[in-house]
């Protein structure tokens, strides 16, 4: 009797088998799922005509709001001329496809069919419609190549009135908001600047040069990775949380201390 | 003093001092001073001890801070600001934060102590207000307290502006906006304060003098006066067994109260040190240097200025033009009206209450908040008014954190600031009366004993026993709120003198509503004759024994 046969009677064995079966089932399903099949097939066949593939993707996932020819409908704007950079920003950050209309599209996990290839194909299709800004290369967004201090000055002059002093986000009117920049990749930050998604204005290359954009990315990425030397950062949103802590932690602790100190009473002489 | 057991060096020194200072008599009298014991009496000490810590940490900070708006290029160790042009004040604040040993800790403790200083004053003032401890003879000490609170706000404002980072600049800009909006004198005051066009080059050094010299000096003097008056007038005490208007029941200053006060200083110090160590406050390096063109989302004042920020945010954009002069009501009203209502209201309340109740007698026993329901309701109303403004000062963070529309927070706030205090008044009044009824029930029926009795006819009742002696004494410490005697018209329908004009009539009406006993402890329960017995076992009480 070897170890495996002995283990068959182990009380945990049935769970192990169940787990294995579930894992296999899930694995097969993932491989056989229709979306990945299509994407994989396109790449495998080597005939990945990006524009044509992108158009297919567009018709499936985007056209209900943006129109069959991206001409726009009552529910979504035209995408002619927005460029591949806008596609990459919106789709890679999960904002598009939109789950439900609201004041603003929130960042969310990407749709299952989204990957680098599908984004490229979709971008190629949109780019073919009327040009527009294209996604930056890795050189252009490398935080290590930027000057943090210069970027910080530009960031303070152009971004923080909405995004907060470290990019923690802030409120805008009517339910709109400037999202926090904690999860934005350098590429997405760059693309947001050149395409001006949602409530954000466009900062084109004549306003802020590509080098300056890289400096800003260096600052944003640098500051968000910087530890808080003074202890817990309290959300890095300024004095509101500080006041909360002063009352909830400070005054509560001191009130408790006062109660404790005075709990021992000197009994009056009878 | 000079018994044989005292060692000579001590006896010699003390008699030397005694002969010259009369210290012995002074100490003998004062060391035995009795202090009443209640946890809420320690709340004011939070402010006192925070002030001491503020003086100590502040002194440390002055060793390194340079109150100058001269331009320098930053060459310190915080890399993301390297080679950035900034004011000397900001550069030296960064220097304190990153290059002075213990500097960041001192800065953070100073700031946390400042928040606790004001918060401590507020909770202390609320305690004094709700227990009526401001009544005669303590009205002057109450006024000193209001002065202290106002000065503390000013002290906070000037301190907030000193580091000259982007956040303090935002506060300074609002200060300037308020100053310049004042009719007639606004422009003069602004140019005087800033030494020219905003931001000028003078304001930091001027605020520095105010912040480290003038205001702390006045604070220190007023705090001393506050303490001396408290010492001379003796502390109020909660109603209880053996506590009257002519005695003080508690522990002597030495050793019991001194030990407690000393321990409480340590607690305050400990909490401030903990906060300073583990919670980052005002990270000036993240805000960057002040440039009048830049502003950050989430720019807020420290919490004690939040109600002003909120009123500014709630205010519709009104302005009127008179004879070619613009009156920016959208700045003037929020800057002056809420502050005026709250501070003037605080200062005048003891005198208004005296006028309404006609009460000129001395009070040394504090009132339980429920036993003066109108005062408590007015207090809660004011807290609600302040609270709504305070909350709305953070409406952008509320909007962004809870995902509600910023506009709606403003609309709701505009309604709440008027409706909230009204609702708070009514609800508090009802709660106070309910609590008074509960007290009357305790006196009338006793408290539940946990013993269940079965009556001959099968009914179960819980036996009530008289309340604990201390609790009963505490409850029975209630006195009716005084009111002006003889406000009613005599048999000929002529009201008494002083109650005839419209003001007099109003006074009589208010006095009647404000004063008097709302729920008497000993009646309404139909068994006054059974006092001292309380056990609810007899038949005929079944309805009450089930509900209480």
Say which range, A56-60, B1-5, B432-436, has the weakest mean pLDDT. Answer: B1-5
pLDDT the model gives residue B183: 87
Question: Quick one: A213 and A166 in the same domain?
Answer: yes
- Contact status of B39 with chain A (Cβ, < 8 Å): yes
Q: How many CB atoms lie within 10 A of CB A194?
A: 22
Residue B9, C-beta contacts closer than 8 angstroms, at least 6 positions apart = none
Domain-terminating residue out of A112, A135, A158: A135
- What is the Cα B171 distance to its own chain's centre? 23
More confident position, B526 or B214? B214
Residue A26 tokens read as: 């899930």
Short-list B4, B5, B60, B1, CA closest to B31 = B1
What's the CA gap between B279 and A248, in Å, rounded?
Answer: 13
- Contact status of B281 with chain A (Cβ, < 8 Å): yes
Residue B262 tokens read as: 């000393």
Whether the predicted pLDDT of B32 surpasses 90 = no
Q: Are B407 and B351 in contact (CB under 8 A)?
A: no
Domain-terminating residue out of A135, A169, A203: A135
**B230-258 pLDDT, tens digit each:** 999 999 999 988 888 888 888 888 888 89
User: What is the pLDDT confidence band of residue A266, given thresholds at 50, 70 and 90?
Assistant: low
Give B183-198 as a 3 state SS string. Answer: CCCHHHHHHHHHCCCC
The answer, yes or no, to whether the previous bond of B477 is cis (omega within 30 of 0) is no
Give the residue-averaged pLDDT of A130-137: 89
* Contact list, A226 vs chain B (CB under 8 Å): 80
Please indicate whether, in this complex, the C-beta atoms of A228 and B280 are within 8 angstroms of each other: yes
Q: Are B102 and A229 in contact (CB under 8 A)?
A: no
Question: Quick one: A121 and A179 in the same domain?
Answer: no
Can you spell out the DSSP letters for B23-65? Answer: HHHHHHHHHT-EE---GGGGHHHHHHHHHHHHHHHHHHHHTT-
Q: For B46, name the nearest residue in chain A, comparing CA atoms only.
A: A254
The answer to whether residue A218 sits within a structural domain is: yes
The answer to whether residue A244 sits within a structural domain is: no
Give the residue-averaged pLDDT of A173-199: 93
**What interface predicted TM-score (ipTM) does this complex get?**
0.89
The answer to whether residue A124 sits within a structural domain is: yes
- What part of A 68-107 touches B (C-beta under 8 Å)? 103
Short-list A165, A111, A98, CA closest to B81 = A165
Q: Among the ranges A165-179, B21-35, B406-420, which has the highest mean pLDDT value?
A: B406-420
Whether the predicted pLDDT of B2 surpasses 50 = no
DSSP assignment letter at A182:
S
The answer to whether residue A175 sits within a structural domain is: yes
Interface test with A, best of B34, B53, B80 (most A CBs within 10 A): B80
Question: Quick one: A67 and A86 in the same domain?
Answer: yes
**B185-212 pLDDT, tens digit each:** 999 999 999 998 888 889 999 999 999 9
Count up the domains in chain A and report the number: 2
What's the CA gap between B403 and B307, in Å, rounded?
Answer: 22
pLDDT the model gives residue B11: 86
Q: Are B165 and B288 in contact (CB under 8 A)?
A: yes
The answer to whether residue A72 sits within a structural domain is: yes
Whether the predicted pLDDT of B538 surpasses 50 = no
Residue A93 tokens read as: 């950050």
Whether the predicted pLDDT of A45 surpasses 50 = no
Distance from CA of A144 to the nearest CA of B (A): 13
Question: Quick one: A140 and A210 in the same domain?
Answer: yes
Global pTM reads 0.87
Question: Quick one: A131 and A57 in the same domain?
Answer: yes
- What is the Cα B72 distance to its own chain's centre? 41
The answer to whether residue A239 sits within a structural domain is: no
Please indicate whether, in this complex, the C-beta atoms of B108 and A172 are within 8 angstroms of each other: no
Indicate the residue of B115, B294, B400 with minimum beta-carbon distance to A169. Answer: B400
Say which range, A168-177, A227-236, B490-499, has the weakest mean pLDDT. Answer: B490-499
pLDDT the model gives residue B35: 87
Question: Quick one: A103 and A169 in the same domain?
Answer: no
Interface test with A, best of B47, B113, B279 (most A CBs within 10 A): B279
Please indicate whether, in this complex, the C-beta atoms of A243 and B306 are within 8 angstroms of each other: yes
Can you spell out the DSSP letters for B454-519? Answer: E-TTS-EEEEEEPPPHHHHHHHHT--PBP--TT-S--TTSPPPTTSSSHHHHHHHHHHHHHSB-SS
Q: Report the CATH number at residue A181.
A: 1.10.760.10
Short-list A121, A123, A92, CA closest to A108 = A92
pLDDT the model gives residue B167: 94
Say which range, B291-295, B487-491, B533-537, has the weakest mean pLDDT. Answer: B533-537
Whether the predicted pLDDT of B496 surpasses 90 = no
Give B444-467 as a 3 state SS string. Answer: HHCEEEEEEEECCCCCEEEEEECC
> String of b and e for B313-337 (b: at least 16 CB within 10 Å)?
bbbeeeeeeeeeeeebbebbbbbee
- What part of B 485-544 touches A (C-beta under 8 Å)? none
Can you spell out the DSSP letters for B247-316? Answer: ---SEEIIIIIHHHHHHHHHHHHHHHHHHHHHB----HHHH-B--TT---TT----GGGHHHHHHHHHS-
Whether the predicted pLDDT of B528 surpasses 60 = no
User: What is the pLDDT confidence band of residue A267, given thresholds at 50, 70 and 90?
Assistant: low
Whether the predicted pLDDT of A33 surpasses 60 = yes
Distances (CA, A) of B522 to B365, B367, B404: 21, 18, 51
- Contact status of A247 with chain B (Cβ, < 8 Å): yes
**B252-290 pLDDT, tens digit each:** 888 888 999 999 999 999 999 999 999 999 999 999 999
**B84-142 pLDDT, tens digit each:** 999 999 999 999 999 999 999 999 999 999 999 999 999 999 999 999 999 999 999 99
Torsion angle defined by CA atoms of residues B369, B375, B379 and B380, in that order, rounded to the nearest 10 degrees: 70
Largest alpha-carbon pair distance within chain B? 94
Torsion angle defined by CA atoms of residues B314, B317, B320 and B325, in that order, rounded to the nearest 10 degrees: 100
Task: Tell the residue number behind the tokens 């040009």, with chain if given.
Answer: A131
Question: Quick one: A164 and A181 in the same domain?
Answer: yes
Whether the predicted pLDDT of A36 surpasses 50 = no
DSSP lists the bridge partners of residue B481 as B516
**Sheet strands (E) in B295-439:** 320-322, 325-327
Q: Which run of H or of E encompasses B128?
A: helix B103-130
Report the first-to-last Cα separation within chain B, whole angstroms: 59
Question: Quick one: A181 and A127 in the same domain?
Answer: no
Q: Are A166 and A224 in contact (CB under 8 A)?
A: yes
Helices B88-98 and B103-130, axial angle in degrees (round to 10): 100
pLDDT the model gives residue B502: 86
Q: Are B22 and A242 in contact (CB under 8 A)?
A: no
Whether the predicted pLDDT of A113 surpasses 50 = yes
Domain-terminating residue out of A89, A107, A135: A135
Residue A171 tokens read as: 């409120």
The answer to whether residue A88 sits within a structural domain is: yes
- How many CB pairs below 8 Å do chains A and B form together? 205
Whether the predicted pLDDT of B526 surpasses 70 = no
Give the residue-averaged pLDDT of A132-147: 91
- What part of B 152-181 touches A (C-beta under 8 Å)? 166-167
Whether the predicted pLDDT of B151 surpasses 90 = yes
Indicate the residue of A149, A237, A246 with minimum beta-carbon distance to B84. Answer: A149
Domains present along chain B, CATH in parentheses: 33-236+255-291 (1.20.810.10), 437-547 (no CATH)
Question: Quick one: A202 and A159 in the same domain?
Answer: yes
**Sheet strands (E) in A104-211:** 170-171, 177-178
Residue B36 tokens read as: 């009443």
Q: Which run of H or of E encompasses B233?
A: helix B215-233
pLDDT the model gives residue B524: 47
Whether the predicted pLDDT of B449 surpasses 80 = yes
Question: Quick one: A130 and A188 in the same domain?
Answer: no
Q: Indicate the average pLDDT of chain B.
A: 89
Domain hosting residue A54, numbered range: 29-135
pLDDT the model gives residue A269: 54
B388: left (phi over 0), alpha (psi -120 to 50) or beta: alpha
Please indicate whether, in this complex, the C-beta atoms of A243 and B405 are within 8 angstroms of each other: no
What's the CA gap between A192 and A86, in Å, rounded?
Answer: 8
Q: Indicate the average pLDDT of chain A.
A: 87
- Upper half-sphere CA count for residue A235 (Cβ side, 13 Å): 17
pLDDT the model gives residue B19: 85
- Contact status of A222 with chain B (Cβ, < 8 Å): yes
User: What is the pLDDT confidence band of residue B546, given thresholds at 50, 70 and 90?
Assistant: very low
Question: Quick one: A42 and A127 in the same domain?
Answer: yes
The answer to whether residue A10 sits within a structural domain is: no
Question: Quick one: A123 and A71 in the same domain?
Answer: yes
pLDDT the model gives residue B5: 76
- What is the Cα B67 distance to its own chain's centre? 31
At B86, is the secondary structure helix, strand, or coil? strand
């Amino acid at each position: 009797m070897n170890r495996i046969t002995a283990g068959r009677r182990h009380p945990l064995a049935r769970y192990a088998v169940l787990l294995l079966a579930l894992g296999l089932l899930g694995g097969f399903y993932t491989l056989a799922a229709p979306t990945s099949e299509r994407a994989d097939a396109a790449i495998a066949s080597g005939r990945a005509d990006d524009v044509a593939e992108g158009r297919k993707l567009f018709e499936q996932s985007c056209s209900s709001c943006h129109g069959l020819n991206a001409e726009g409908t009552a529910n979504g704007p035209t995408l002619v001329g927005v460029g591949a950079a806008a596609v990459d920003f919106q789709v890679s950050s999960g904002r598009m496809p939109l789950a439900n209309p609201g004041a603003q599209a929130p960042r969310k996990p990407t749709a299952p069919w989204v990957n680098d290839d599908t984004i490229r194909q979709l971008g190629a299709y949109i780019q073919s419609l009327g040009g527009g800004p294209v996604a930056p290369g890795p050189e252009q967004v490398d935080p290590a190549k930027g000057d943090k201090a210069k970027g910080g000055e530009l960031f303070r002059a152009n971004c923080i009135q909405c995004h907060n002093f470290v990019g923690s986000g802030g409120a805008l009117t009517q339910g709109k908001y400037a999202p926090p920049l904690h999860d934005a990749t350098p590429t997405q930050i760059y693309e947001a600047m050149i395409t001006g998604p949602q409530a954000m204005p466009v900062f084109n290359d004549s306003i802020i040069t590509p080098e300056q954009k890289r400096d800003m990315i260096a600052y944003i990425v640098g500051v968000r990775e910087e530890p808080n030397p003074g202890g817990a950062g309290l959300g890095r949103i300024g004095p509101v949380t500080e006041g909360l802590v002063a009352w909830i932690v400070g005054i509560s602790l001191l009130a408790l201390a006062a109660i404790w100190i005075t709990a021992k009473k000197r009994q009056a002489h009878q | 003093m000079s018994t044989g057991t005292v060692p000579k060096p001590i006896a010699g020194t003390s008699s030397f001092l005694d002969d010259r200072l009369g210290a012995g008599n002074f100490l003998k009298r004062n060391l035995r001073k009795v202090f009443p014991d209640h946890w809420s009496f320690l709340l004011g000490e939070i402010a006192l001890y925070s002030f001491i810590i503020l003086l100590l940490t502040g002194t440390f900070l002055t060793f390194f801070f340079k109150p100058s708006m001269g331009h320098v290029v930053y060459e310190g160790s915080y890399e993301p600001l390297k080679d950035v042009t900034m004011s000397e004040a900001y550069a030296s604040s960064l220097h304190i934060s990153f290059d002075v040993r213990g500097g960041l800790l001192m800065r953070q403790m100073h700031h946390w102590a400042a928040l606790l200083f004001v918060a401590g004053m507020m909770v202390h003032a609320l305690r004094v207000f709700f227990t009526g401890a401001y009544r005669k003879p303590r009205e002057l000490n109450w006024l000193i307290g209001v002065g202290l609170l106002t000065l503390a706000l000013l002290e906070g404002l000037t301190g907030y502006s000193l580091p000259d980072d982007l956040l303090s600049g935002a506060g300074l800009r609002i200060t300037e906006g308020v100053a310049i909006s004042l009719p007639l004198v606004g422009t003069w005051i602004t140019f005087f304060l800033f030494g020219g066009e905003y931001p000028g080059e003078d304001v930091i050094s001027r605020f520095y003098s105010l912040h480290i010299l003038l205001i702390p000096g006045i604070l220190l003097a007023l705090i001393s006066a506050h303490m001396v008056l408290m010492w001379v007038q003796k502390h109020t005490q909660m109603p209880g067994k053996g506590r009257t208007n002519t005695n003080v029941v508690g522990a002597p200053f030495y050793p019991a109260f001194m030990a407690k006060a000393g321990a409480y200083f340590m607690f305050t110090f400990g909490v401030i040190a903990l906060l300073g160590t583990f919670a980052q406050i005002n990270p000036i390096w993240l805000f960057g240097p002040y440039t009048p063109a830049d502003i950050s989302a989430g720019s807020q004042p420290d919490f004690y200025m939040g109600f002003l920020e909120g009123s500014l945010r709630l205010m519709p954009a009104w302005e009127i033009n008179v004879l070619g002069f613009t009156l920016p009501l959208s700045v003037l009203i929020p800057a002056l009206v809420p502050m005026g209502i709250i501070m003037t209201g605080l200062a005048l309340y003891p005198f208004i209450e005296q006028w309404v109740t006609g009460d000129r007698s001395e009070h040394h026993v504090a009132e339980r908040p429920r036993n003066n329901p109108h005062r408590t309701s007015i207090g809660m109303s004011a807290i609600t008014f302040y609270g709504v403004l305070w909350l709305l000062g953070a409406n952008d963070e509320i909007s962004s954190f809870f995902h509600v529309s910023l506009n709606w927070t403003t609309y709701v706030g505009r309604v709440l600031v008027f409706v909230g205090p009204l609702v708070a008044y009514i609800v508090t009044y009802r709660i106070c009366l309910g609590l008074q009824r509960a007290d009357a029930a305790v006196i009338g029926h006793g408290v539940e004993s946990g013993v269940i009795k079965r009556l001959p006819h099968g009914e179960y009742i819980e036996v009530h026993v008289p309340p604990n002696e201390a609790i009963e004494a505490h409850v029975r410490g209630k006195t009716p709120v005084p009111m002006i005697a003889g406000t009613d018209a005599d048999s000929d329908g002529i009201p008494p003198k002083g109650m005839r004009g419209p003001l007099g009539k109003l006074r009589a009406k208010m006095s009647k509503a404000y004063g008097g006993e709302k729920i008497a402890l000993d009646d309404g329960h139909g068994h006054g004759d059974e006092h001292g017995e309380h056990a609810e076992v007899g038949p005929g009480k079944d309805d009450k024994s089930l509900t209480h």
